[in-house]
C-alpha cells in the first residue's frame, strides 16, 4: 500500500473524515504538490527543535481533529523569529484552543516554514453527485470570494485543460505580471493542477480538497494550507 492509501486508511480507522493539515500535506507531497516544510511537535522543546531544523521564520498551528478552522480559535501564529517566540507561541496556541474549545483533543502543534508573501492562488476539488469530481482554480482573496473569478473542469484533467483554466480567468494578467508584481511560475501552476487531478483520480474517496492559499513565486510555488475531506 502506498503512503497516501496508508494515511487515508488510518484516518478512516479512527472514524474521522477531515484530514489534519500534516496528513493532507504529507499526501500532497507524495503527489509532488509543493507544500511548506513541516513537523508536528508535542512540546515547546520539540517545537523549538523543529523550528531550528526548518529555519526561521516559522509558523505554528494547532493540530486537532476537533479544530477545522484553526485561526478561528487562535490556533495560528505567524512569523516567529526565535526560540523564545516559538516557545511562547506554543503555549499561547494551546491556551487559546483550551479556552475556545475546552474539549478539543490536541494532537500537537505544527511547526512550518513561513512562506514569503506572493500572488495567492486557490486549487479546489469538489465531488458533484451527478458529474463526479470537478477541479476549481482561481486567485486568492477578493478574486475568488468577491468576484467569483474561477475556472472549473471535470477530472481527470488534461494538460490543455489545465492551461485553459489558467488563461480563462479574468485575473490572468495578474499572473503574467504587472507593474511591481513579478510574473508567476505558470508551468508550476499547471503541474499543481495536474498532480491534484492525479491524486483525486487515484483516490476517489476524497470528497473535497482545498489548497488555499498556494503562494506562487517567479520560480516555484508553496501550499500554505491544505484540507482534505473524505466521503
Q: Rounded to 5 degrees, what angle do the CA atoms 76, 117, 33 make?
A: 80
Q: Which is nearer to ligand ADP, 63 or 162 (CB)?
A: 63
By the 10 Å C-beta count (0-12 exposed, 13-18 middle, 19+ buried), 89 is classed as buried
Q: Which residue stretch of 49-57, 94-102, 147-155, 219-227 sits at the interface with Mg ion (rule: CB under 5 A)?
A: 219-227
State the binding string over 51-90 for ligand ADP (x if CB under 6 A, else -).
--------x-x-------xxx----x-x------------
Cα–Cα dist 122/118, whole Å: 13
- Write out 146-185 in H/E/C secondary structure: CCCCEEEEECCCCHHHHHHHHHHCCCHHHHHCECCECCCC
Give 70 or 203: the residue with its C-beta nearer to Mg ion: 70
Q: Are 26 and 226 contacting, i.e. CB atoms less than 8 angstroms apart?
A: no
| Total residues in contact with Mg ion, by rule CB under 5 A | 1
Is there binding between residue 21 and Mg ion (CB under 5 A)? no
d(CA 17, CA 96): 24
Nearer to Mg ion, 48 or 224 (CB): 224
Taking the complex as a whole, how short is the minimal distance between the CB of residue 165 and ligand ADP, in angstroms? 22
List the one residue from 4, 36, 118, 197 that touches ligand ADP (CB under 6 A).
36
Q: Report how far residue 33's alpha carbon sits from residue 162's, in angstroms, rounded to the nearest whole number.
A: 15
**Does 225 participate in binding Mg ion (rule CB under 5 A)?**
yes
Pairing of strands 206-216, 132-139: unpaired
For the bound state, the minimum distance from the C-beta of residue 80 to Mg ion, rounded and expressed in Å, comes to 18
d(CA 95, CA 78): 16
Which of 161/225 has CB closer to ligand ADP? 225
Instruction: Pick the stretch among 10-18, 170-178, 198-206, 218-226 that binds Mg ion (CB under 5 A).
Output: 218-226
Q: Which listed range, 23-31, 112-120, 122-130, 175-183, lies at the site for ligand ADP (CB under 6 A)? A: 112-120
Name the minimum Å distance from CB 31 to ligand ADP. 19
Q: Nearest to residue 8, comparing CAs of 203, 194, 201?
A: 203
For 69, the grid coordinates are: 478552522
Note whether 199 and 223 are within 8 A (CB): no
Assess 213 for contact with ligand ADP (CB under 6 A).
Answer: yes
Q: Does residue 225 touch ligand ADP according to CB under 6 A?
A: yes
Task: Give the interface with ligand ADP as residue ranges (CB under 6 A).
Answer: 36, 59, 61, 69-71, 76, 78, 112, 114-115, 213, 224-225
Task: Give the interface with Mg ion as residue ranges (CB under 5 A).
Answer: 225
Amino acid at each position: 500500500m502506498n503512503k497516501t492509501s496508508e494515511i487515508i486508511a488510518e484516518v478512516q480507522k479512527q472514524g474521522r473524515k477531515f484530514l489534519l493539515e500534516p496528513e493532507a500535506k504529507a499526501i500532497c507531497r507524495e503527489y509532488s504538490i509543493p507544500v511548506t516544510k513541516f513537523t508536528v511537535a508535542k512540546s515547546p522543546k520539540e517545537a523549538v527543535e523543529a523550528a531550528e531544523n526548518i529555519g526561521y521564520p516559522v509558523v505554528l498551528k494547532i493540530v486537532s481533529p476537533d479544530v477545522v478552522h484553526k485561526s478561528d480559535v487562535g490556533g495560528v501564529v505567524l512569523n516567529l523569529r526565535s526560540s523564545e517566540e516559538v516557545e511562547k507561541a506554543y503555549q499561547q496556541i494551546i491556551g487559546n484552543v483550551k479556552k475556545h474549545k475546552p474539549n478539543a483533543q490536541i494532537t500537537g502543534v505544527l511547526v512550518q516554514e513561513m512562506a514569503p508573501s506572493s500572488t495567492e492562488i486557490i486549487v479546489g476539488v469538489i465531488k458533484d453527485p451527478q458529474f463526479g469530481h470537478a477541479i476549481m482554480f482561481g486567485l486568492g482573496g477578493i478574486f475568488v470570494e468577491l468576484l467569483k473569478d474561477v475556472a472549473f473542469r471535470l477530472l481527470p484533467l488534461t494538460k490543455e485543460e489545465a492551461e485553459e483554466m489558467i488563461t480563462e480567468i479574468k485575473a490572468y494578467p495578474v499572473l503574467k505580471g504587472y507593474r511591481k508584481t513579478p510574473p508567476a511560475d505558470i508551468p508550476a501552476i499547471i503541474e499543481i493542477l495536474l498532480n491534484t487531478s492525479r491524486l483525486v483520480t487515484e483516490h476517489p474517496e476524497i470528497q473535497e480538497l482545498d489548497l488555499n492559499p498556494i503562494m506562487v513565486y517567479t520560480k516555484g510555488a508553496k501550499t500554505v494550507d491544505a484540507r482534505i475531506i473524505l466521503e
